[in-house]
């Protein structure tokens, strides 16, 4: 199963003074199981692109095939669109702004209900989704979403998407505006959702350091086109080209480069975790008599990595 995008163009406000060519012949294949990061500066077309993947933007030219659902320009097929939206779940920037029901349970149930599932199935999915995002179902189900903290609201919004059990999960700037702890929670949540719910995950982020934490492949958008589509360790060898389009390399890559210039070679380093491991390994090679711990991790906060509790008890950090 694949998502295949061929020659997709998109023009905003065509034939007006505000006309803008946002996508210029985009070709891309995304495989089932990919953990794909998309980067690009503001206005590079990355958000316009992902909106095509679940039919929020009508295709103007080109074709898109999402797990055998075929989209072509000018085709009106409601049942295809419905299937598409059940296949590709989209978590927008600041998704908590979209919460609207008076209880958490109703809000999360909105998506699956719209899919026409029976009440029992809806309830089952809502319960599971709320648990998956690390909230206590019994504790939050009857609460108003607006009573929750920022990080909790965001998790409820994500639960609303997860409840539709999409095969592909797309998140646009999932950690924007959160404090360091909330960020860590969402990042470990994404990894967990990939394992337990949606095997294919696409994340848009401004923060390259964050993307190196999980992606196995990165697509760089620039000026409406795919500039790079590479495995992560290869991408950041193109530091100069990235810099030219306003993108930075991850901090770990930069520090490894500085060390390289001073004669210390740490090998392929992309994430801060890679950097830490490379450092302690190099250290232990040189100081065999007094080795240091090798199970180092960059995160300041400990979460149960394999699906335990992503978050802490209820009632945390509420105002």
Residues in touch with other proteins (CB under 8 A): 18, 41-43, 149-151, 176-182, 206-207, 209, 246, 248, 251, 254-255, 258-259, 262-264, 272, 275-276, 279-280, 282-283, 286, 290-294, 296-298, 300-301, 317-319
Cβ distance to other proteins smaller for residue 39 or 84: 39
CB of 109 to other proteins, least distance (A): 23
Cβ distance to other proteins smaller for residue 136 or 317: 317
CB of 196 to other proteins, least distance (A): 25
Sign of CA dihedral 177, 179, 184, 186: negative
Query: How many other C-beta atoms are found inside a 10 Å radius of the C-beta of residue 65?
Result: 15
Cβ distance to other proteins smaller for residue 288 or 300: 300
Query: What tokens appear for 312 in the block?
Result: 């802490």
Question: Rounded CA gap, 169 and 161, in Å?
Answer: 8
CB of 237 to other proteins, least distance (A): 20
Question: Rounded CA gap, 276 and 39, in Å?
Answer: 24
Give SS3 for 37: strand
CB of 135 to other proteins, least distance (A): 16
Cβ distance to other proteins smaller for residue 32 or 142: 142
Among 89, 90, 91, 54, residue whose Cα is nearest residue 69: 54
Cβ distance to other proteins smaller for residue 58 or 260: 260
Which residues contact residue 135 at a Cβ distance below 8 angstroms, ignoring those fewer than 6 apart?
Answer: 104, 152, 155, 156, 159, 311, 314
């Amino acid at each position: 199963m694949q998502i295949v995008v061929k020659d997709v163009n998109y023009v905003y406000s065509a034939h007006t003074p505000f006309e803008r060519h946002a996508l210029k012949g985009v070709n891309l294949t995304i495989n089932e199981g990919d953990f794909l990061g998309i980067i690009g500066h503001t206005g590079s077309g990355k958000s316009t692109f992902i909106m095509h993947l679940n039919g929020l933007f009508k295709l103007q030219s080109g074709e898109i095939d999402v797990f055998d659902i075929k989209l072509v320009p000018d085709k009106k097929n409601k049942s295809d669109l419905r299937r598409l939206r059940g296949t590709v779940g989209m978590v927008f920037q600041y998704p908590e702004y979209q919460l609207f029901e008076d209880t958490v349970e109703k809000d999360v149930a909105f998506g699956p209900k719209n899919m026409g599932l029976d009440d029992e199935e809806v309830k089952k999915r809502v319960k599971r989704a709320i648990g998956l995002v690390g909230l206590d179902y019994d504790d939050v189900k009857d609460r108003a979403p607006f009573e929750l903290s920022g990080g909790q609201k965001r998790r409820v919004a994500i639960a609303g998407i997860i409840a539709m059990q999409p095969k592909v999960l797309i998140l646009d700037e999932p950690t924007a505006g959160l404090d360091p702890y909330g960020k860590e929670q969402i990042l470990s949540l994404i990894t967990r959702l990939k394992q337990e719910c949606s095997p294919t995950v696409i994340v848009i982020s401004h923060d390259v350091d964050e993307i190196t934490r999980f992606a196995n492949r990165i697509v760089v958008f620039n000026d409406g086109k795919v500039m790079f589509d590479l495995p992560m360790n290869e991408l950041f060898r193109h530091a100069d080209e990235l810099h030219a389009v306003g993108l930075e390399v991850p901090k770990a890559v930069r520090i490894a480069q500085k060390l390289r210039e001073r004669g210390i070679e740490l090998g392929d380093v992309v994430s801060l975790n890679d950097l830490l491991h490379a450092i302690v390994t190099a250290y232990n090679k040189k100081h065999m008599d007094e080795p240091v711990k090798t199970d180092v991790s960059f995160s300041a906060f400990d979460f149960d990595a394999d699906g335990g509790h992503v978050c802490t008890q209820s009632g945390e950090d509420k105002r």
